[in-house]
Structure formats: structure tokens, C-alpha cells
């Protein structure tokens, strides 16, 4: 059977119509988005040396609530046979969701046994949510050779139904729906779309109030779409929580860089085209990709060490080639140099500190961009270089080592302009140096220079004190004597 979402929605709509739609304008929207499958996403990543293949299928944890028998609810479960005409005329301010919809009340964190006796039957339950939460609706232990679909609706004040999520996998053993909801009335409905079985399935829903800002993203159809430069924080709000993310590469993008910052209680996986690849925690990962492709990621709990809902994971994902320049550059030395050549000229002997921030065309920081810092003499001699990767904020800071030099020019400088004393003398220096340049170089993933900034500094080859001088006063005969040694 061709399982189209709109056909399933129309089937539910027809069931409501049999009792009350014409009179009370009860409507079900049919704008469910098609449910994506991971198999429909083309391979966007290639296995990196740091990635390990893991089992692609996760086994759900068992239901942690007591399952009721539907007979205990004392209500007719088929929407097409519900007497809703009387309840729909009741004011929404005084009637319950069960009275307004004809769907029996079933509180969150509860489940019931359920079975269908004929194809096309529908069963539903309602609840009044008083605080914001994430609803997880489930139908598990579905018998073989049947096909059941699961729907989640919001019951509006005018008694119309707004579709929130649908699960319609073909002949699945389990169906799940998810949605982050505000206070209000909600309906969980199941439909037998292909045959029926006397064996019971289990139908229920759960509340997960400790959701993060990206919920609900528990399946690919609800995946959080990431920007070209994204930093994400989240948590695992229950033992079965899965957080899906998708990232669209740029037209000419050949690499994605990713760092997953989390304890070993969290796992981040990347869809490799046929299986999930586990990314290492707290390490920079390079993903080789192609332009205009989709990278799919999934965060979940480590089944051997479940994290508490208060624990956080974080990851930063970036197009390292989005950088166009280096801003906020700073250069310094922490050596004990006299800086006598010129007050505005940086001097360095064998250490040169350099820092900056890689930014894109809009001025936003670009994490994990590739930078080369270097120094060359005016004669073209390579004095020192270091390649590095910017951090998750696009920033870098390091010290490069400079080689010794023979020097081109020598000057003699005095390091004070005031009168020296025996305890604080003037010092004369011979300084041998050469002019050089420091360079900030931004490279793309292929090693091609995209941006270069350079400026002059003095590379000090030798500093030597030639004499020290001071004025000594003659307290007996008067006058002063200038002494040097």
C-alpha cells in the first residue's frame, strides 16, 4: 500500500466527519510534512582516520510506566463511533479535552494496551497539558503483518485539530511522534491502515520537560538545520532521546570541521551513507565532503553511562574556508630587550608572539580556520614559521621561534636621557640587527593562501653593553665628575 501522509490524514478526517464535522466545523489539517528517512540522505562524508564505525540501529529502552487495559478507561475508542455532537457544543472554558474531542483522557507518562479489529479503525486519547514540555507519543509491540500509523494533534479552542507530527513507517514494530508543546489540549491518535490483529499493541505518551533549545529534533524529519558556522549546546532529556542535526555544505566546500565537547556520557555520530560513524569527543575532526551536500549528525546518550538531564554537550561545526581575513591582530615579544632603535618599532630576538581572529565577509568569527604565522628578513631569509588552527571562537594566539641572525646594521644607543648615578647608571649598547617582516597568512583547506597581512619589525641579532656612565659629585672640593667604565 502506498502510504501517503495526506491519505492518512484524509482517513482520519472522514472518521470525524461521520459524527460532527458538518454541524460543528471540526477540521483536521492535512499539511503534515513528508517524513524523511536517513536512507534518503546521500553520503556526504567519508570515513576519516579518527572515526570508528558503530552499530546504526539503537534499541529502545522499555516503557517505564504501568500499562493500563483500555477497558478501564470506560470509553469508546473509535472516533467514527464517538458521540461528539453534544460535547462539541460545550464551552471550551468549562469542558475537558476528552469532552470536547470524544477522545478519552490519558495522562502523560501513561500507556494502554490497544488493538484494532478492522482496517481503517482509529483510536485516540486526549490530555490537558499545563506546563511546557516535550511530548513523546509511542506505539510499540505492533503485531506482524499489520500497518498502524500514529498522529499527534493540538486541539484548538475552536475544536479544530492542528497536526504536529506523524509516524507512518511501513509495517513498523514501533511508531513514535514528538513535539515541544506549550500548555493546551493535545490528541494522540492511531489508525489501522492495513489489516488488523487481535494481538495488543501498546500506545502511550510521555512528558520530557527538561528539553533543550533545539527540541524537538528527535528524528530526521525534525532535525535542527545548522548555519554554515554553528555552535550548539544541548542535553539528553530522557534515556531514549536522540538529537538530529543537518548541515548543508556550500557550493565549493570540500571540508567540514567539527569539535564535540562532552564527557563520555554523550555520543555524537555522523551519517556515513550506510552506517553511523562515531566522532571522538573533545577532538577536532575533519570531514571530507562535497559541495551542496548534506551532513547528518545525531547526538545521544552513551547506553552504558546515561548522563543526567542537567549535563550538557556542545559542538561547533564550521566551514573553515569561509574566512576572508584576519582581524584584531597583535604582535609582541616577552623578551628582556632594550627597544632602543625606535619607540614605534617592534624588536624581537628569538621569540615573537602573535594573535588574531579569523572572520568571514560579514565580520563573524570563523572557527577552525587554517592559519600560518611567519617571519622573513628583508633579504628573503625565512626566520621562523608555524601553522595552526583557530579555536572554536576563530581566535588564535601563539609564539613562534626565530632563528639566530648575523646582523646587517649596528648602532650604538644610550638607554637613558637623564643623569645617571652610581646605583642607577646610564648604559651604552651596541645593537646588531636586521629589518624583517612578520606575516599573518590565512589558508584554505587545500593550502592556498587567501589572505596575507605583513608589517615590519627589527630582528635583533646581538645586544652588548659597551660602557656604563654616571655623574659623581665631589662633596669636598665641589663640582661633579662624569665617570664611565
C-beta separation of 318 from 255 below 8 A: no
The predicted-structure confidence for 282-322, as pLDDT tens digits, reads as follows 999 999 999 999 999 999 999 999 999 999 999 999 999 99
Question: Could you tell me which residue, 407 or 135, shows the higher pLDDT?
Answer: 135
The predicted-structure confidence for 83-93, as pLDDT tens digits, reads as follows 332 233 334 45
13: pLDDT strictly greater than 50: no
C-alpha cell belonging to residue 370:
587554517
Q: What is the CA 285 to chain-centroid distance, rounded? A: 14
Query: In the chain, what percentage of residues exceed pLDDT 70?
Result: 79
Whole-angstrom distance, CA of residue 46 vs CA of residue 289 = 7
Query: In 54-209, at which residue ranges do the beta strands (DSSP E only) sit?
Result: 67-68, 110-114, 122-129, 133-140, 147-155, 161-167, 175-181, 184-194, 201-208
* pTM of this prediction exceeds 0.95: no
Which residues partner with 105 through β-bridges? 126
Strands 224-226 and 242-248: parallel
Ordered by where they begin, the domains of the chain are: 5-39+64-208 (2.60.120.380), 220-318 (2.60.120.510), 325-473 (2.60.40.2550)
C-beta separation of 427 from 434 below 8 A: no
Amino acid at each position: 500500500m502506498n502510504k501517503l501522509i495526506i491519505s492518512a490524514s484524509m482517513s482520519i478526517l472522514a472518521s470525524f466527519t461521520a459524527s460532527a464535522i458538518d454541524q460543528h466545523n471540526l477540521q483536521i489539517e492535512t499539511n503534515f510534512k513528508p517524513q524523511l528517512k536517513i536512507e534518503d540522505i546521500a553520503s556526504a562524508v567519508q570515513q576519516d582516520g579518527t572515526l570508528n564505525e558503530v552499530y546504526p540501529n539503537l534499541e529502545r529502552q522499555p516503557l517505564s510506566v504501568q500499562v493500563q487495559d483500555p477497558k478501564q478507561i470506560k470509553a469508546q475508542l473509535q472516533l467514527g463511533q464517538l458521540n461528539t455532537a453534544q460535547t462539541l457544543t460545550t464551552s471550551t472554558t468549562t469542558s475537558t479535552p476528552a469532552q470536547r474531542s470524544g477522545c478519552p483522557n490519558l495522562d502523560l507518562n501513561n500507556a494502554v494496551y490497544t488493538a484494532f479489529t478492522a482496517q481503517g479503525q482509529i483510536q485516540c486519547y486526549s490530555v490537558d497539558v499545563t506546563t511546557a514540555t516535550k511530548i513523546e507519543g509511542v506505539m510499540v509491540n505492533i503485531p506482524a503483518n499489520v500497518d498502524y500509523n500514529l498522529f499527534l494533534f493540538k486541539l484548538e479552542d475552536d475544536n479544530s485539530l492542528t497536526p504536529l507530527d506523524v509516524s507512518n513507517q511501513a509495517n513498523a514494530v514501533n511508531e513514535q511522534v514528538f513535539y515541544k508543546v506549550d500548555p493546551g489540549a493535545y490528541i494522540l491518535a492511531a489508525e489501522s491502515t492495513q489489516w488488523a490483529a487481535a494481538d495488543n499493541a501498546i500506545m502511550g505518551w510521555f512528558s520530557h520537560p527538561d528539553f533543550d533549545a533545539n527540541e524537538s529534533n528527535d528524528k530526521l524529519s525534525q532535525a535542527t538545520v545548522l548555519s554554515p558556522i554553528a555552535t550548539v549546546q544541548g542535553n539528553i532529556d530522557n534515556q531514549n532521546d536522540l538529537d538530529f542535526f543537518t548541515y548543508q555544505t556550500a557550493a565549493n566546500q570540500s571540508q567540514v570541521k567539527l569539535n564535540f565537547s562532552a564527557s563520555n556520557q554523550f555520543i555524537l555520530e555522523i551519517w556515513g551513507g550506510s552506517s553511523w560513524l562515531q566522532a571522538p569527543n573533545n577532538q577536532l575532526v575533519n570531514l571530507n565532503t562535497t559541495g551542496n551536500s548534506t551532513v547528518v549528525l545525531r547526538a545521544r546518550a552513551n547506553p552504558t553511562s546515561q548522563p543526567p538531564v542537567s549535563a550538557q554537550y556542545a559542538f561547533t561545526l564550521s566551514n573553515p574556508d569561509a574566512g576572508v581575513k584576519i582581524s584584531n591582530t597583535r604582535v609582541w615579544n616577552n623578551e628582556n630587550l632594550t627597544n632602543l632603535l625606535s619607540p614605534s618599532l617592534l624588536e624581537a630576538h628569538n621569540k615573537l608572539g602573535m594573535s588574531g581572529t579569523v572572520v568571514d565577509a560579514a565580520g563573524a568569527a570563523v572557527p577552525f580556520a587554517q592559519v600560518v604565522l611567519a617571519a622573513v628578513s628583508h633579504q628573503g631569509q625565512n626566520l621562523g614559521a608555524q601553522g595552526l588552527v583557530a579555536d572554536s571562537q576563530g581566535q588564535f594566539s601563539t609564539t613562534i621561534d626565530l632563528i639566530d641572525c648575523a646582523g646587517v646594521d649596528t648602532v650604538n644607543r644610550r638607554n637613558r636621557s637623564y643623569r645617571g648615578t652610581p646605583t642607577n647608571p646610564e648604559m651604552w649598547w651596541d645593537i646588531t640587527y636586521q629589518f624583517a617582516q612578520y606575516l599573518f597568512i590565512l589558508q584554505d583547506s587545500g593550502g592556498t593562501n587567501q589572505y596575507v597581512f605583513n608589517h615590519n619589525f627589527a630582528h635583533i641579532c646581538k645586544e652588548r653593553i659597551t660602557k656604563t656612565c654616571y655623574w659623581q659629585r665631589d662633596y669636598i672640593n665641589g663640582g661633579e665628575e662624569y665617570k664611565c667604565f
